[in-house]
Amino acid sequence: MTTGREPAEIRDAFELVILGEQPQLTSKEVARAAGVSDEVAGRLWRALGFPDAGGEKAFTKGDTRALARIGLAVEKGRLDLDTIVRMTRAVGQLISRLADWEVATFTAAMEDGDRSPEGSAERLAASLQLVEEIGPHFEELLVYAWRRHLAAAVGRIELPGADDDVSLATVGFADLVSFTALTNELDDDQIGDLVEVFEGRCQDVVADHRGRVIKTLGDSVLFVADSPAEGIDMALDIIAVIGGDSRLPDVRLGLATGPVVLRLGDVYGPAVNLASRLTGVARRNRVIIDDRTAGLLPTDEFETRVLPARPLRGFGDVEPVSVRRTRSRHDF
């Protein structure tokens, strides 16, 4: 174990272990070495989510190699710069969240209750050892997961002739009931545990039904399904799973179907907004859908009931529809 070091020394050691080398280049130097303009280098750096480094020696030879590859791709005309910047921004957003999650997990794993400076140094040292041991394995897992998800995404590509990025999908929101009030009664660790369990349960159910979790927002999860029936199955199973976990409060769900735009890992369109509004009027442990979703459900597998009209912001008065499985659906 790495011991006898000051916290600042250990943080420097972290950077060396993670990056593989100490930063020794300025932004202008790395751009020149990579053969790209300062403007291009700056756009890509900001797209990753980092501030302008100015004249600080914040870059490594690894940064140079990565930037040179991008410059070569632009030069060959395979991808234009705007497309590369969009892809870089998506990667930056996703990896930033993953890195925060990793650090939080390492910190929790090393927590021993000793808040003294000596205890902090020991935890940092233990975390450094953990990074040294599992870092290479986690990096391989990251590449593996990316390849598997890339293959799955390619399999979802529409036939030629379809509108770019636009598809018909059923969008759902799962929302924890009274989450704000509940957080006032819990400490930070308990809130974190609750959110992690909720997100994990929803992720498992959605994946089981071949859907996709688009994003999580603490007390809510946004997911998409390829068909209304699959979306309803996900929603009802989320209720069953969350309701069966004593650590979690009740949940409510709203779903809507319509054209959506899938871009940079997110989903946009009126159906997304409508699903969110419907969630707000759903009763606890109930699923509320729009009339379009209801009209696309197999009548021998699902029962629907139109509810009194409710004013939904941005949509006027809307008649929500409640839904449940028929007995025959349970036999599938």
For the stretch 34-68, pLDDT in tens is 988 898 888 888 888 888 888 888 899 999 998 88
User: In angstroms, rounded to a whole number, what is the distance separating the alpha carbons of residues 86 and 173?
Assistant: 26
Of residues 291 and 110, more confidence is placed in 291
Q: What are the domain boundaries of the chain?
A: 7-155, 166-331
DSSP designation for 37: -
Residue whose pair of structure tokens reads 């629907």 in the numeric block: 304
The three-state secondary structure class of 171 is: strand
User: In angstroms, rounded to a whole number, what is the distance separating the alpha carbons of residues 178 and 146?
Assistant: 36
For the stretch 125-159, pLDDT in tens is 666 677 777 778 888 888 888 888 788 777 666 54
- Tell me the whole-structure pTM to 2 decimals: 0.68
Of residues 27 and 115, more confidence is placed in 27
Mean pLDDT of 185-212: 86
Reported as a pLDDT band with limits 50, 70 and 90, residue 1 is very low
Task: Note the pLDDT of residue 139.
Answer: 83
What architecture (CATH level 2) is domain 166-331? 2-Layer Sandwich (3.30)
Pairing of β 251-263 and β 287-289: parallel
Query: Quick one: what percent of the chain has pLDDT higher than 70?
Result: 83
User: In angstroms, rounded to a whole number, what is the distance separating the alpha carbons of residues 319 and 259?
Assistant: 20
Reported as a pLDDT band with limits 50, 70 and 90, residue 115 is low
Task: Note the pLDDT of residue 311.
Answer: 93
State which amino acid sits at residue 242: I
Task: Note the pLDDT of residue 161.
Answer: 42
Beta-carbon contacts of 105 under 8 Å, excluding residues fewer than 6 positions away, are none
Residue 267 is encoded by which pair of tokens?
A: 């989903």
Q: Which of 192, 178, 253 is nearest to 223 (CA)?
A: 253
User: In angstroms, rounded to a whole number, what is the distance separating the alpha carbons of residues 55 and 26?
Assistant: 6
Reported as a pLDDT band with limits 50, 70 and 90, residue 83 is confident
For the stretch 246-304, pLDDT in tens is 778 899 999 999 999 887 678 899 999 999 999 999 999 999 999 999 999 999 999 99
Helix axes 81-110, 38-47, angle to 10 degrees: 40
DSSP string of 91-141, one letter each residue: HHHHHHHHHHHHHHHHHHHH--S--SHHHHHHHHHHHHHHHHHHHHHHHHH
CB 320, CB 278: distance < 8 Å: yes
The three-state secondary structure class of 249 is: coil
Tally of helices (H runs) and strands (E runs) in the chain: 11, 10
User: In angstroms, rounded to a whole number, what is the distance separating the alpha carbons of residues 75 and 299?
Assistant: 56
As a dihedral over the C-alpha atoms of residue 194, residue 198, residue 203, residue 208, rounded to 10 degrees, the angle is: 130
User: In angstroms, rounded to a whole number, what is the distance separating the alpha carbons of residues 38 and 28?
Assistant: 6
Residue whose pair of structure tokens reads 């410059």 in the numeric block: 71
Q: Where are the beta strands (DSSP E) in 138-226?
A: 166-176, 212-216, 220-225
Angle (CA) 262 264 269, round 5°: 35
Residue whose pair of structure tokens reads 């990579």 in the numeric block: 34
Reported as a pLDDT band with limits 50, 70 and 90, residue 160 is very low
Mean pLDDT across the chain? 82
